[in-house]
Structure 1
Amino acid sequence: MQSPLISVIIPSFNAAKSIRQTLLSLLKQQFTAFEVIIMDGASNDQTVPIVQELAGRDPRVRFFSEKDKGIYDAMNKGIQAARGEWLYFLGADDELLDASVFQQISQVLQKTGALFVYGNVLFGAAKHWYDGPFDYEKLLHANISHQAIFYHRKVFSIVGGFDIQYRTHADWAFNINCFKHREIAIEYANLLVARFGMEGASSRHDVIFLRGFLLPEWLRHIYHAGIRTIRNVKVYDEWWRLIRNAGIRNHQQLLQFAGELQVPAPVLSMVAWQSMVAASWLKAGMISKGLMLLNYLFNRFTGKL
């Protein structure tokens, strides 16, 4: 059997409400040289019979159901099972935008010299495109939706699989590593790929990721770009929210997560100020924003910025 151009990998668990629509959005594609791999985490609702019914109609659908260690463990298993040249990950509550998507993207994939090709997605019923071209700096602050990305299988030989210690943001860490890697050429395709479901887990804070991966990346970048970049109040606010969302409550914790990296004085100041109030208060937007502005003005006045 000839290998398909695209392997679509769908991790699922108790997705009976949405997975039929997700699969139908794939099976109606005008371009047909793809396979679908469902990596199910031993669902106990109607997911299994729904998928088995559709798989019985179309041999391109392959179904595996067993307990896993989360979304990214299922995605890693899907990588091992995939036969395609390009790998694409879709959530069990996502769907391709229309029947022409794979036809459009296949023309890009068959001509490109890149190993990482990405486009845009829509959030739910919204008409807003997310989120155009990325570079490394932009990627430090917002992830590319995995529903928009087509990875050549060589990428996983270079970078490895998804790090399952990051429960909701392993794909973000993976994408940052791809953008840093010189062997991985990246291409942006200005087209809409999928409609992103709103029930996913990735909106929740992944504290291990924030502390162990994103904080060190931000520290490296700030010394590359220049410490004065933090004088921009928008950037300052992003740092403030990173410290808050990572739950860093004292200097000892901060220095532990920074490792050998030097921590700028304004960031040390943020931790000191946040530690003076209850963590529950910092979850209140107005309180957090007000304290951040006071801290910012204090550091400007005292010459730390």
Structure 2
Amino acid sequence: MDTVAVSVCIPAYRKPDQLIRLLESLLLQRFSNYEVIVSDDSPDNSVRIICEQYQHKLPLQYFHNQPALGSPENWNNAIRKAKGKWIKLMHDDDAFATPDSLGALYALTSGGADFVFSGYNVVEETSIRSSHHIAPSWVEKLNQDPRLLLSNNVIGHPSVTMHLNNGRLWYDKRMKWMVDIDFYVRCMQQGSFNYSTEPLINIGHHEAQITRSVFLDKKVVVPENMLLLHKLGEELLGNVQIYDYYWRLLRNYNIGSETELQQLSPVAVPEKIKKMLKFQRMFPQWLLKIGPVSKVLMVLSRMLNR
């Protein structure tokens, strides 16, 4: 049997209608050297029924998880089952935007990249709400230091990416909110990347809504940001963009004390973060929420926190 080029890995959960849209977009792909792995966390058989209907149309393997693995372990499970040289994770809310999408992503690997990604559309039903792609200035930044992605996820959702199946890269199951950024940084640290600004993937608007709802949860966002800083290295706070990012994190979630922050953090809070918080607490919250004032105070804090 010929080697499979791409494993399209679909972690599924109880969204049969969206899954049909994704599988239909796969049927349209002109690039044909792929397999489909569905790892299903659903408590019912709704996803299984759909997969059985498509198994004679697609090279599809279905796996049901009992008990459910949850995110992102369900993603990892699909990747573990994959035999392709490349992993193309696709959430069941998403779909390929054109018949040439998978082929275009695969073409990006020809120059020796280990990690590739594209632009994307945010789609509601059949309407495109917005389109996004990385700016050239950010490509330069990520080539210099991939960790800067922490301050701004300019790549996007996991469905816009594809990575080499080397058996060494897994999504960190301790994370939900920062799990994609953590994974992208590790991919880029281990090898080169390539990209296309073309919107090759359609991201379901529903998925974007879930992302926004998680953003409001202090008990998810703050701990994961502290963990990721610990993983990437506290010296990263020397970069003004990263320093500003954590300044805004403390401000936006109104962290009231070092004790509260340490209770939220799964790792020891760095001294620079403690000093940053102490400086913030000198000013009322309403003042910190005035953008230009907050920016000036952030710069002053950074000067005093060297």
1:173 aligned onto 2:182:
yes
Rounded to whole Å, the distance in 1 between the matches of 2:74 and 2:291 is 41
136-145 vs 248-257, which moves further? 248-257
Map residues 45-84 of structure 1 onto 2, 5 A cutoff: 46-55=46-55, 57-66=56-65, 67-84=67-84
Q: 1:114 to 1:236 in 2, by over 3 A?
A: closer
Contact 2:108–2:195 (8 Å) recurs in 1: no
- Equivalent position of 1:130 in the other structure: 133
- Residue 191 of structure 1 corresponds to 198
| Residue 103 of structure 1: how far off its partner (Å) | 2.2
CA–CA separation in structure 1 for the residues paired with 2:69 and 2:254: 24
Gap runs ≥5 in structure 1? 278-285
| Large movers: runs of 4+ above 6 Å | 255-258
One of 147, 163, 166 as aligned partner of 1:151: 163
Contact 2:26 2:96 in 1 (8 A): yes
* 1:69 partner amino acid: L
Q: For 1:141, which of 139, 151, 163 is the aligned residue?
A: 151
Please state how far the C-alpha of 1:100 moved relative to its aligned partner.
1.0
**Segment drifting more, 292-301 vs 39-48:** 292-301
How many angstroms does 1:215 deviate by? Answer: 6.8
Shift of 1:197: 1.2
* Distance in 1 separating the partners of 2:229 and 2:93: 27
Is the CA contact 2:133–2:198 (under 8 Å) kept in the aligned structure 1? no
Q: Tell me, what secondary structure is at the counterpart of 1:209?
A: helix
Which residue number in structure 2 is paired with residue 114 of structure 1?
113
Paired residues, number: 281
Q: Which of 225, 228, 237 lines up with 1:213 in the alignment?
A: 228
Equivalent AA in structure 1 for residue 149 of structure 2: L
The amino acid that maps onto 1:166 is M
Q: Secondary structure at the match of 2:129?
A: coil
Structure 2, unaligned stretches of length 5 or more?
none
Instruction: For 2:275 and 2:29, locate their aligned partners in 1 and report how far apart those are by CA, in whole Å.
Output: 52
Cα deviation for residue 54 of structure 1 reads 1.4
Given residue 193 of structure 1, which amino acid in structure 2 is its aligned partner?
Answer: L
RMSD (Å) for aligned C-alpha atoms: 3.3
Aligned to 1:18, what secondary structure does the other structure show? helix
Q: CA deviation at 1:243?
A: 1.7
What's the offset of the Cα at 1:187? 1.9
Question: Secondary structure of 2:196's match?
Answer: strand
